[in-house]
Structure 1
Amino acid sequence: MEAERLVLRDDQWAKMAPYCLGKASDPGRSGHDNRLFLEAVLWIARTGSPWRDLPAAFGKWNTIFKRYRDWVKADVFQRLFDAASDDPDMEFAMVDGTIVKVHRHGQGAKGGPQSQAIGRSKGGMTTKIVALTDALGNLVRFVLLPGQRCDIIGVPPLIENLAFAGFMADKAFDTNAIIAELDARGARVVISQHPGRASKRRIDAELYKWRHLIENFFCKLKEFKRIAMRSDKTDQSF
């Protein structure tokens, strides 16, 4: 396995390492090479391959998959994300959404698709990712919705208890409720105006151009093929 095909930088790993399970200081059995395990998970996400096709250099695929599910259930990946994104630039929060198609292998979870943020839209069975990034286009929070749901219902959980000086979004998020919430917070509103809005608000057109950073984020996100096409049955794993 060539080193240049690995994903984690040393500085990222230094932030994540204390939050991994199976460290030598943890009770119980120690995990074998946590960094290599995370690289295995990232390889699956990047290539979109089935777990059975994991290269032998990472170890036994079924052992790694079981370990992955254990970490999912223990919410370890959320802690790793929080550790790696601990210094967001909240001068502006930017929000947008994207649709991902659900592979047939991602369907069939207990409770039906509606319980796993899967719904039928124009693209078939899809999941919607609504994300909030900081002013630099780095992910801060996200929510999953069934593909047919409106993006704006994802906004309240994204901004809850989150401080930011301004809010930037396209016209899909131009609603009275969102703008009233932002005005109440004293946040600067840079939301493209919906053509049907009766009372127009002035926005900074030059500042709005920086919204391309969240578009760039989604482009980078979809380089990970297992995200660009959902193959996981449960929201937890996805």
Structure 2
Amino acid sequence: MELTEPQWKIVEPLFPPPKATGRPRRDDRLVLEGVLWVLRTGARWKDLPGRFPPYQTCHRRFQQWVRSGLLDRVLQALYEDLVERGQVKLDEWFIDGSFGPGERGGSAVNYGPRGKGSKVMAITDRHGLPVALHLAPAAPHEVTLVHSTLDAAFGLDHPARLIGDTAYDSDLLDQQLAREGIEMIARNRKNRTKTQDGRPLRRAKRRFVVERLFAWLQRFRRVVVRYERFAENYLGMVQLAAMVILLRQF
């Protein structure tokens, strides 16, 4: 997958400059495009085509970016740019989770209702652009992952409203978020007494934006199934997919 010239100019300043001494460093743009090829195709690293740098270089650089927090900084910078352009709406966010099967195991992998794997939590703005990404084992209920997902927001203040599906219908969660100035909006589960009136629930009709984000993310085959043994590497792949989605707005 190749980046356009305008897209590369946006992210290029965020990558560390090469060292003045030592062996010549492979171009960050070519390495990034090689990593994005693996992300898009879901192929093995050693199947990377010859037009890219050696797969060992791409894999090693990817891990360096993950462990240095570079991908977090890239997402935060992209979102700050979009906020300045007025292309995002931050008054209400939408939250949901998606299961990623991981039969090979690894950190943050266990058995949940849908099998062995991990859970990718995501929050979007009103336009369906990713605002926060968080990785957890498959077993915990999504209602217990709300705070950690909010904490993973790309350097943004929390919204006035957070909207989810019936999985987030919880009196305790409502109370916890209310103390932080956040109104949780979720349709009541069938086995619970009705606690929300109709007017706030109208906002839940826009929940499709977070479901659409997961559809976008799952176009990247390395996200659909977890191949990475290390949780931070799998989250890094999800973050790269989010980066591509945000770059399409420029």
What's the TM-score, normalizing by structure 1? 0.84
Deviation at 1:210, TM superposition (A): 0.9
Aligned partner of 1:157 in structure 2 is 148
Query: Relative to 1, partners in 2 of residues 1:194 and 1:123: Cα closer, same or farther, differing over 3 Å?
Result: closer
Aligned partner of 1:110 in structure 2 is none
**From 228, 233, 236, the counterpart of 2:232:** 236
Whether the 8 Å contact between 1:95 and 1:132 is mirrored in structure 2 is yes
Q: Partners in 2 of 1:100 and 1:196 — Cα distance?
A: 28
Deviations 1:104-151, CA, capped at 9 Å, x for gaps: 3xx3xxxxx4xx110012433211111111121111112211112111
**From 30, 40, 44, the counterpart of 1:36:** 30
Long gaps (5+) in structure 1: 108-112
Aligned amino acid, residue 79 of structure 2: S
Q: Partners in 1 of 2:92 and 2:226 — Cα distance?
A: 30
Query: Relative to 1, partners in 2 of residues 1:99 and 1:14: Cα closer, same or farther, differing over 3 Å?
Result: same
Q: How does 1:113-152 map to 2 (within 5 A)?
A: 113=106, 116-152=107-143
Whether the 8 Å contact between 1:190 and 1:203 is mirrored in structure 2 is no
* Residue 167 of structure 2 is aligned to residue 176 of structure 1: no
Deviation at 1:11, TM superposition (A): 4.0
Query: Relative to 1, partners in 2 of residues 1:159 and 1:63: Cα closer, same or farther, differing over 3 Å?
Result: closer
Q: Partners in 1 of 2:102 and 2:43 — Cα distance?
A: 15
Q: Partners in 2 of 1:67 and 1:209 — Cα distance?
A: 42
Aligned partner of 2:102 in structure 1 is 102
Aligned partner of 1:224 in structure 2 is 220
Instruction: Report SS of the residue matched to 1:218.
Output: helix
Deviation at 1:92, TM superposition (A): 0.6
Q: Partners in 1 of 2:171 and 2:95 — Cα distance?
A: 16
Structure 1 range deviating more: 225-234 or 157-166: 157-166
* Residue 74 of structure 2 is aligned to residue 80 of structure 1: yes
Q: Partners in 2 of 1:136 and 1:231 — Cα distance?
A: 30
Deviation at 1:199, TM superposition (A): 4.5
Q: Partners in 2 of 1:70 and 1:228 — Cα distance?
A: 23
Deviation at 1:28, TM superposition (A): 4.7
Instruction: Report SS of the residue matched to 2:203.
Output: helix
RMSD across aligned positions (CA):
2.1
Aligned amino acid, residue 169 of structure 1: G
Query: Relative to 1, partners in 2 of residues 1:199 and 1:206: Cα closer, same or farther, differing over 3 Å?
Result: closer
Aligned partner of 2:57 in structure 1 is 63
Aligned partner of 1:167 in structure 2 is 162
Aligned amino acid, residue 97 of structure 1: G
What's the TM-score, normalizing by structure 2? 0.80
Whether the 8 Å contact between 2:41 and 2:222 is mirrored in structure 1 is yes
Aligned amino acid, residue 92 of structure 2: F
Deviation at 1:75, TM superposition (A): 1.8
Deviation at 1:198, TM superposition (A): 2.4
Q: Partners in 2 of 1:203 and 1:220 — Cα distance?
A: 30
Q: Partners in 1 of 2:175 and 2:21 — Cα distance?
A: 51
Query: Relative to 1, partners in 2 of residues 1:174 and 1:64: Cα closer, same or farther, differing over 3 Å?
Result: same
Deviation at 1:9, TM superposition (A): 4.2
Aligned amino acid, residue 219 of structure 1: A
Query: Relative to 1, partners in 2 of residues 1:199 and 1:103: Cα closer, same or farther, differing over 3 Å?
Result: closer
Deviation at 1:236, TM superposition (A): 1.4
Aligned amino acid, residue 26 of structure 2: H
Whether the 8 Å contact between 1:12 and 1:84 is mirrored in structure 2 is no
4+ runs deviating over 6 angstroms:
none
